Amino acid sequence: MLSRCLAAILSLASLSIQGVPPHTMVQPEAVAWRGQPGALQTAIAEGNPQSGPFTMLLKLPDSVWIPPHFHNVEKRLIVIKGELLMGHGDTIDQSKATALKTGGVAVMPANTHHYEGGKGETIVALIATGPFTTTMVQK
């Protein structure tokens, strides 16, 4: 009886495992950066910004700023390398930006006008759920 129960449990476990996709791992050397060196570069590490959860990587060289913009959904940022300088509003004011150090996490609500800059070479993971859009603030 015990062996039949064990066989049934293993059979059910095998069925449920077959329906689960394998986990995703992306090594740094596999990241396909887009954009020109010396400017903002981006890469989709996993997922699809147009539908569902995704992770995008942003690489900002020292003193490069992303102009004021906003997104249609909440985003999370995790600083992987360097320092991310973040400010709120419709114009860049470096004196009002807050530094987020390596390992720091920020949560930006949808439709919040903000800008970001790098201090040292800065790499950030942006995590959100699509459809994801970025709208530049018009002056």
What is the model's pLDDT at position 113? Answer: 98
* Bridge partner list, 84: 100, 118
Confidence of residue 22 (pLDDT cuts 50, 70, 90): confident
Cβ pair 61, 38 in contact under 8 A: yes
pLDDT of residue 1: 57
In angstroms, rounded to a whole number, what is the distance separating the alpha carbons of residues 76 and 128? 6
For the record, the structure tokens of 128 come out as 């959100």
Query: What pLDDT is recorded for position 19?
Result: 62
Q: Calculate the alpha carbon distances from 56 to 3, 67, 91, 132, 137 in Å.
A: 48, 18, 24, 11, 21
Q: Among all chains, which residue has been given the structure tokens 């949808």?
A: 110
List the domains of the chain with CATH numbers: 26-136 (2.60.120.10)
Per residue in 80-118, pLDDT (tens digit) is 999 999 999 999 999 999 999 999 999 999 999 999 999
- Cis amide leading into 61 (omega within 30): no
Give the pLDDT score at 12: 47
51 phi/psi in degrees, rounded to 5: -160, 120
